[in-house]
Amino acid sequence: DTGVSQDPRHKITKRGQNVTFRCDPISEHNRLYWYRQTLGQGPEFLTYFQNEAQLEKSRLLSDRFSAERPKGSFSTLEIQRTEQGDSAMYLCASSLGLAGVVEELFFGEGSRLTVL
Amino acid sequence: QKEVEQNSGPLSVPEGAIASLNCTYSDRGSQSFFWYRQYSGKSPELIMSIYSNGDKEDGRFTAQLNKASQYVSLLIRDSQPSDSATYLCAPKGGDYKLSFGAGTTVTVRA
């Protein structure tokens, strides 16, 4: 097992373009999270999945953002019509997902987005 | 009011000294607390978790929790240059997500 992997690691795009990030969680983990982090700030919660179900989405998240986890394994995060304010590190994390158990989140190395 | 507030940094300590990091949180329903370390350009990694009031020690790290005061802290004893990083406090509320503070950057001077 190689941990949480994210792709691409870096993405530079022009304003108005669409981008998609992929996350592969640790294989036996049922929960998957997306966070966004900008310089000097802590990770900000975006959304999370329990298996294939998206259970919560931040109310701060624009409609331009959408996430999927179609088969309960990997997940994609798409940003449509990117804006310069979307420039950030997008972090994916996963956890076991056992009911009633407080769990550690394991983070991937992140996908850094730069919108020109 | 921010959900999670940490003491502003950067915090500079000499090698071998104790670094003290503080965190307050607003969600009284938080039952679990995590400290993550994040090196520059890297992703966060868990270093401590604490669930009960009192102290919890793990090597050179000690976490302290006071739920009545909504306060959690992290002490790093015998600080080493490799401890230079940003430390993120993350309480966990009644749902399954973590809320992170902005972090405190620690620099250990050799």
Q: Which residues of B fall within a CB distance of 8 Å from A48?
A: 96-97
Q: Is the peptide bond before B14 cis (omega within 30 degrees of 0)?
A: no
Smallest CA–CA separation between A70 and chain B, in Å?
20
Which residue, B105, B23, B10, is CA-closest to B64?
B23
Q: In the predicted model, is pLDDT for residue B82 greater than 70?
A: yes
Instruction: Say yes or no for a CB contact (<8 Å) between A43 and B88.
Output: yes
Describe the strand order of the beta sheet including A19-24 as a list of residue ranges.
A5-7, A19-24, A75-79, A65-68
Nearest to B97 among A41, A42, A56 (CB): A56
* Cβ A104 vs Cβ B50: under 8 Å: no
* Cβ A34 vs Cβ A67: under 8 Å: yes
- Model pLDDT, residue A100: 65
- Model pLDDT, residue B27: 87
- Model pLDDT, residue B11: 95
Residue A90: beta bridge partners? A36, A111
* Cβ A97 vs Cβ A50: under 8 Å: yes
- Model pLDDT, residue A78: 97
| Nearest residue on chain A to B46, alpha-carbon basis | A104
- Model pLDDT, residue B31: 84
Instruction: Say yes or no for a CB contact (<8 Å) between A44 and B100.
Output: yes
Most confident of A49-58, B26-35, B79-88: B79-88
